[in-house]
Structure 1
Amino acid sequence: MQIERLTCALGAEISNIKLAEAATNDDLFGEIHAALLAHKVLFFRNQPLTDAQHAGVARRFGPLEDHPLTTSVDGEPGIIHINKTPDNPPERYENAWHTDATWRECPPMGAVLRCVECPTVGGDTMWANMELAYERLPDHIKDDIATLRARHSMEATFMAAKPMADRLAMKERFPDPEHPVVRTHPETGAKALFVNAFATHFTNYHTASRVRVGQDFTNGAGELLRFLQSQAAIPEYQLRWRWTPDSIAIWDNRCTQHYAVMDYPPCNRRMHRATIIGDRPF
């Protein structure tokens, strides 16, 4: 197995293996798991997998979950198909910098994404290292956010365009959770900045040490949240991956954000995805 780093911030491409074998080969999976913890997102090219093989590799990291708005493909629970075509364009926008499903009490541990068809140019995906983003924050901001918590919401993001009844029903099913602003990785112990596009506000900012008068809360909390959300957009923390058919990405959702670049219509972009159940952030 060969591992080639892609940027100084994160990411590595792995070659000279058949990824499908990781579903049954403990030694191979152990090497891939160690590489994921070290590099946070891994890439593989020329890996033609069936949905069953795709799910088998992903399940080595843990049980798979479904997205509440997208059903799994027939015969393979945990695999969803994401198809964008000229007849089925993205609604309004493709993406924003985010960590998957932080609107859940237990966001996913990670995901395995496989490219089936992609534009000849465009349709890349970007990732950002949120451990590095935290590490390089000014010390006084680290001190200020050490105990802060933030509310995360699907209602204020991709559910906002849905009919009110659907939006309220989904919020009842998935009440907006709160998560620590600084998350500790459960396997490595590293700290990561854990606010993204789903974060709406801090839940414990309004304390005597921060707020003298109302304007301190109104302006101070919002400006701090926007500053923290903006860190994923710093190029020095990022990588950009150009898809080819049968290429695969595996990422650690606990310490990264990602952004699917919508610069490809009118073209086909077909991706198959497995999402791995995670634990409660702390």
Structure 2
Amino acid sequence: METSASSTPAPARAATGGTIEVAPSTCTIGAELSGVSLADAARDDVLFAEIRALLLKHRVLFLRDQDITRADHVAFARRFGELEGHPVAGSDPDHPGLVRIYKDLNSPPEHYENAYHCDATFREAPPMGCVLRCVETPAVGGDTIWVNMVEAYRRLPEPIKQQIAGLRARHSIEATFGAVMPMEKRHALRDRFPDAEHPVVRTHPETGEKSLFVNAFTTHFVNFHTPANVRFGQDFTPGASQLLSYLISQAQIPEYQVRFRWKKNSVAIWDNRCTQHYAVQDYWPAVRKMERATIVGDRPG
């Protein structure tokens, strides 16, 4: 399995008779595509299949100058699977599954995006992936960082891999999005979306690769308190919390990352099953408007 990519663009044949130019972004994650319209890919089976294959290889894809309609955006994303809204942000009423992420002077001071996270792991079946298009962006700032969590797992020390092989963890919307809500609303949110339990090491359902699957939504391990890990009760809380903090911190390592600078009509497509991302909130009081189609996923295994 490849863990690095050449910096030389690799042309791939497109169904339209042209070529998709593929320029890897870093040695471990990301590629920028050119010579393709997502509006065309939404209607072309062969072209879409090429893009899907490239996504599995590079984990996040970037495209520029995608002046497409919301209907095209949704149609392309739906080629991957059914779409879903967000339990807090909702969905565009005219285009179900399309979430408007608009940040301006009227936006509340939320800081959910500027943490390394994998989207909606508080769901029993987190999203398979997302297609995010930039509608408006600051002249400077507002970049997004993506992380290759397959590489993060691969390069863990072997004793850590052995320790976490069977561990499972809780992921919570109540402790994140719900934290700013009054108690009644927070509890109602928890009742709608009870904490989900996922393996700490996830196996990708298409590639078979293992990835580290803990992030900002993860609150604690559920099966750490065993004789192998705990000599005395004193070991339980610090041992588990320190290990979880260490694992979550792996997303911060630059060698696993790619950073993308947005322009209007730029698009990012990412595989949510093996990546994390971080939206840099350094642009206030400038305006940043994004629209995201989120693809329904499966239960992590």
Please confirm whether the aligned pair reaches a TM-score higher than 0.5, indicating the same fold. yes
Q: Distance in 2 between matches of 1:187 and 1:90?
A: 38
C-alpha distance after superposition, 1:221-248 (max 9, x if no partner): 1110000000000011101000000000
Please tell me the residue identity of whatever aligns with 1:277. V
- Residue 276 of structure 1 pairs with residue 295 of structure 2: yes
- Whether 2:108 is the aligned partner of 1:85: answer no
Q: Secondary structure, in 3 states, of the residue corresponding to 2:53?
A: helix
User: What is the distance in 2 between the residues matched to 1:91 and 1:101?
Assistant: 16
Q: 1:251 corresponds to which residue?
A: 270
Letter in 1 for 2:182: P
Look up the match of 2:83.
64
Q: Note the alpha carbon deviations across 1:92-137, whole angstroms, 9 max, x for none.
A: 5642100000001000000000000000000000000000000000
Matched residue SS, 1:272? strand
1:198-253 Cα deviation digits (max 9, x unpaired)? 11110000011111101211211111000000000001110100000000000000
The separation in 1 between residues aligned to 2:226 and 2:93, in whole angstroms, is: 51
Partner of 1:154 in structure 2? 173
Partner of 1:190: 209
User: Are 2:121 and 1:98 equivalent residues in the alignment?
Assistant: no
Q: Secondary structure at the match of 1:64?
A: coil
2:186 is matched with 167
Deviations 1:137-171 (A, max 9, x none): 00000000000000111111121011111100010
Match of 1:228 in 2: 247
> Which residue of structure 1 lines up, in the alignment, with residue 43 of structure 2?
24
Determine the C-alpha separation between the residues in 1 that align with 2:117 and 2:142. 17
Distance 2:112 2:187 in 1: 22
1:45 aligns with 2:64: yes
Name which structure has the greater RCO, CA cutoff 8 Å, separation 6+: 1
**CA offset digits 1:53-97 (Å, max 9, x no partner):** 000000010000010112222321111111111232542564210
Matched, 1:178 2:197: yes
Q: Across the two proteins, how many residue pairs are aligned to each other?
A: 282
Say what the alpha-carbon RMSD is for the aligned residues: 0.9
Q: Distance in 1 between matches of 2:154 and 2:160?
A: 11
C-alpha contact 1:93 1:262 (8 A) present in aligned 2: no
In the alignment, the residues of structure 1 paired with residue 40 and residue 247 of structure 2 have an alpha-carbon distance, to the nearest angstrom, of: 40
Q: 1:92 to 1:275 in 2, by over 3 A?
A: closer
Length-normalised TM-score, structure 1: 0.98
Task: Give the aligned residue type for 1:278.
Answer: G
In the alignment, which residue of structure 1 is the partner of 2:222? 203
Displacement of 1:276 in angstroms is 0.2
Question: Which blocks of at least 5 consecutive residues in structure 2 are unaligned?
Answer: 1-19
Identity, % of aligned positions = 62
